[in-house]
Amino acid sequence: MLNQASVRQIFKFHERVISALKFELSGKRSQILVVNSCE
């Protein structure tokens, strides 16, 4: 069984990954908007 400390570390790591993915997606979305508005 996992102890609480390692569970907390895993949770923090997942939060960081999710926020990084959200940042990537929002960046791509704004690039797409810029490309569409230029045409």
Task: Write the pLDDT tens digit of every residue in 3-15.
Answer: 899 999 999 999 9
Supply φ then ψ for residue 35, to 5 degrees. -60, -45
Check whether 19 has a pLDDT greater than 90: yes
pTM for the full predicted model = 0.56
In the numeric block, which tokens belong to residue 37? 């508005």
Q: Give the distance, in angstroms, between the CA of residue 38 and the centroid of all CA atoms in the same chain.
A: 27
